[in-house]
Protein backbone atom coordinates (compact mmCIF):
# COMPACT_ATOMS: atom_id res chain seq x y z
CA UNK A 1 0.00 0.00 0.00
CA UNK A 2 1.33 3.42 -0.94
CA UNK A 3 1.40 5.73 2.08
CA UNK A 4 3.19 8.79 0.74
CA UNK A 5 4.14 10.43 -2.52
CA UNK A 6 7.26 12.61 -2.66
CA UNK A 7 8.17 15.14 -5.31
CA UNK A 8 11.12 17.35 -6.01
CA UNK A 9 9.66 20.86 -5.93
CA UNK A 10 11.93 23.38 -7.66
CA UNK A 11 12.17 22.89 -11.39
CA UNK A 12 9.97 19.79 -11.29
CA UNK A 13 6.70 21.02 -9.82
CA UNK A 14 7.44 24.73 -9.56
CA UNK A 15 8.45 26.90 -12.51
CA UNK A 16 11.75 28.43 -11.39
CA UNK A 17 11.69 30.91 -14.29
CA UNK A 18 8.27 32.27 -13.31
CA UNK A 19 9.51 35.00 -10.94
CA UNK A 20 11.71 36.65 -13.59
CA UNK A 21 9.08 36.22 -16.32
CA UNK A 22 6.32 37.66 -14.16
CA UNK A 23 8.35 40.68 -13.05
CA UNK A 24 9.50 41.34 -16.63
CA UNK A 25 5.92 41.22 -17.90
CA UNK A 26 4.81 43.70 -15.24
CA UNK A 27 6.73 46.46 -17.04
CA UNK A 28 7.98 47.89 -13.73
CA UNK A 29 11.62 47.27 -14.69
CA UNK A 30 12.04 47.84 -18.46
CA UNK A 31 15.66 46.65 -18.34
CA UNK A 32 14.41 43.21 -17.33
CA UNK A 33 12.13 42.70 -20.33
CA UNK A 34 14.87 41.70 -22.75
CA UNK A 35 17.14 39.79 -20.37
CA UNK A 36 14.78 37.93 -18.03
CA UNK A 37 15.34 34.51 -19.67
CA UNK A 38 19.11 34.86 -19.25
CA UNK A 39 18.68 36.15 -15.68
CA UNK A 40 16.45 33.19 -14.79
CA UNK A 41 18.89 30.73 -16.36
CA UNK A 42 21.97 32.14 -14.62
CA UNK A 43 20.05 32.38 -11.32
CA UNK A 44 18.92 28.73 -11.41
CA UNK A 45 22.28 27.41 -12.61
CA UNK A 46 24.14 29.29 -9.89
CA UNK A 47 21.57 28.18 -7.30
CA UNK A 48 22.22 24.54 -8.20
CA UNK A 49 26.01 25.09 -8.29
CA UNK A 50 26.00 26.67 -4.84
CA UNK A 51 23.81 23.86 -3.48
CA UNK A 52 26.10 21.15 -4.86
CA UNK A 53 29.29 22.88 -3.69
CA UNK A 54 27.92 23.38 -0.17
CA UNK A 55 26.75 19.78 -0.04
CA UNK A 56 30.14 18.47 -1.15
CA UNK A 57 32.05 20.73 1.23
CA UNK A 58 29.74 20.07 4.18
CA UNK A 59 29.14 23.80 4.66
CA UNK A 60 25.38 23.97 5.11
CA UNK A 61 23.55 27.16 4.26
CA UNK A 62 19.73 27.47 4.19
CA UNK A 63 18.10 27.15 0.78
CA UNK A 64 16.76 30.69 0.90
CA UNK A 65 20.23 32.16 1.47
CA UNK A 66 21.63 30.14 -1.43
CA UNK A 67 18.76 31.34 -3.62
CA UNK A 68 19.43 34.97 -2.66
CA UNK A 69 23.18 34.61 -3.24
CA UNK A 70 22.53 33.06 -6.65
CA UNK A 71 20.24 35.94 -7.61
CA UNK A 72 22.93 38.43 -6.54
CA UNK A 73 25.41 36.65 -8.79
CA UNK A 74 22.99 36.57 -11.74
CA UNK A 75 22.08 40.24 -11.40
CA UNK A 76 25.75 41.24 -11.19
CA UNK A 77 26.56 39.10 -14.24
CA UNK A 78 23.97 41.09 -16.22
CA UNK A 79 24.89 44.46 -14.67
CA UNK A 80 21.51 44.78 -12.97
CA UNK A 81 22.03 46.69 -9.72
CA UNK A 82 18.58 47.48 -8.43
CA UNK A 83 17.66 46.57 -4.84
CA UNK A 84 13.94 47.04 -5.51
CA UNK A 85 14.11 44.60 -8.45
CA UNK A 86 16.04 42.09 -6.31
CA UNK A 87 13.46 42.28 -3.51
CA UNK A 88 10.59 41.91 -6.00
CA UNK A 89 12.21 38.85 -7.62
CA UNK A 90 12.78 37.17 -4.25
CA UNK A 91 9.20 37.90 -3.18
CA UNK A 92 7.86 36.34 -6.38
CA UNK A 93 10.19 33.35 -5.98
CA UNK A 94 8.53 32.55 -2.65
CA UNK A 95 5.24 32.16 -4.55
CA UNK A 96 6.29 30.26 -7.67
CA UNK A 97 3.54 28.87 -9.85
CA UNK A 98 3.42 25.17 -10.61
CA UNK A 99 3.91 23.97 -14.17
CA UNK A 100 0.60 23.17 -15.85
CA UNK A 101 1.46 19.47 -16.21
CA UNK A 102 2.53 19.40 -12.54
CA UNK A 103 -0.90 20.67 -11.50
CA UNK A 104 -2.48 17.87 -13.54
CA UNK A 105 -0.16 15.30 -11.92
CA UNK A 106 -0.94 16.58 -8.41
CA UNK A 107 -4.66 16.48 -9.20
CA UNK A 108 -4.27 12.86 -10.36
CA UNK A 109 -2.43 11.95 -7.15
CA UNK A 110 -5.15 13.69 -5.11
CA UNK A 111 -7.86 11.61 -6.80
CA UNK A 112 -6.06 8.48 -5.52
CA UNK A 113 -6.63 9.64 -1.96
CA UNK A 114 -3.44 11.58 -1.23
CA UNK A 115 -4.60 14.95 0.03
CA UNK A 116 -3.08 17.19 2.60
CA UNK A 117 -4.51 20.58 1.76
CA UNK A 118 -1.80 21.29 -0.80
CA UNK A 119 0.84 21.83 1.85
CA UNK A 120 4.29 20.36 2.25
CA UNK A 121 4.32 17.38 4.60
CA UNK A 122 8.01 16.74 4.84
CA UNK A 123 11.52 16.79 3.49
CA UNK A 124 14.09 14.10 2.78
CA UNK A 125 17.74 14.60 3.77
CA UNK A 126 19.69 14.07 0.55
CA UNK A 127 23.27 14.46 1.73
CA UNK A 128 25.78 12.46 3.73
CA UNK A 129 27.18 15.67 5.21
CA UNK A 130 24.35 16.72 7.52
CA UNK A 131 25.70 17.03 11.06
CA UNK A 132 22.48 15.90 12.71
CA UNK A 133 20.67 13.59 10.28
CA UNK A 134 21.47 10.70 7.95
CA UNK A 135 20.86 10.57 4.22
CA UNK A 136 17.26 9.48 3.64
CA UNK A 137 15.91 10.78 6.96
CA UNK A 138 12.35 12.07 6.75
CA UNK A 139 11.90 15.46 8.42
CA UNK A 140 8.49 16.95 9.11
CA UNK A 141 7.93 20.39 7.61
CA UNK A 142 8.26 23.51 9.73
CA UNK A 143 6.87 25.46 6.79
CA UNK A 144 6.55 25.12 3.05
CA UNK A 145 10.25 25.78 2.52
CA UNK A 146 11.99 24.50 5.65
CA UNK A 147 12.18 21.24 7.55
CA UNK A 148 11.71 20.89 11.29
CA UNK A 149 15.18 19.78 12.35
CA UNK A 150 14.16 18.36 15.73
CA UNK A 151 13.80 14.64 14.94
CA UNK A 152 13.71 12.28 11.98
CA UNK A 153 10.34 10.60 11.32
CA UNK A 154 11.99 7.58 9.74
CA UNK A 155 14.43 6.94 6.93
CA UNK A 156 13.42 6.03 3.39
CA UNK A 157 16.64 4.08 2.87
CA UNK A 158 16.10 1.81 5.88
CA UNK A 159 13.95 -1.31 5.57
CA UNK A 160 10.20 -1.08 5.60
CA UNK A 161 9.70 1.46 2.83
CA UNK A 162 8.90 0.44 -0.72
CA UNK A 163 10.29 3.16 -2.98
CA UNK A 164 9.29 3.47 -6.61
CA UNK A 165 11.37 6.10 -8.37
CA UNK A 166 9.71 7.94 -11.24
CA UNK A 167 12.68 10.05 -12.22
CA UNK A 168 16.45 10.17 -11.88
CA UNK A 169 17.89 8.23 -8.98
CA UNK A 170 18.85 11.27 -6.92
CA UNK A 171 19.42 9.35 -3.70
CA UNK A 172 21.30 6.40 -5.15
- Distance between CA atoms of 4 and 50, rounded to whole angstroms? 30
Q: Which of 8, 87, 128, 158 is catalytic?
A: 8
DSSP assignment of 45-91? HHHHHHHHHHHHHT----HHHHHHHHHHHHHHHTT---HHHHHHHHH
86 CB-near residues (< 8 Å, 6+ apart): 71, 72, 75
128 catalytically annotated: no
Complete edge-to-edge strand list for the sheet that includes strand 137-143: 122-124, 137-143, 146-155
Tell me which residues are annotated as active site. Answer: 8
Amino acid sequence: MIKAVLFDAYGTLLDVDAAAAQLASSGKFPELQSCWPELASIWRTRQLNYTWLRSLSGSYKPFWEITSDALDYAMEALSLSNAEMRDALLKLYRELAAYEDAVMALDAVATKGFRNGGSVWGFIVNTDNDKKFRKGDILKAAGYNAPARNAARGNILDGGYCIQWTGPLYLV
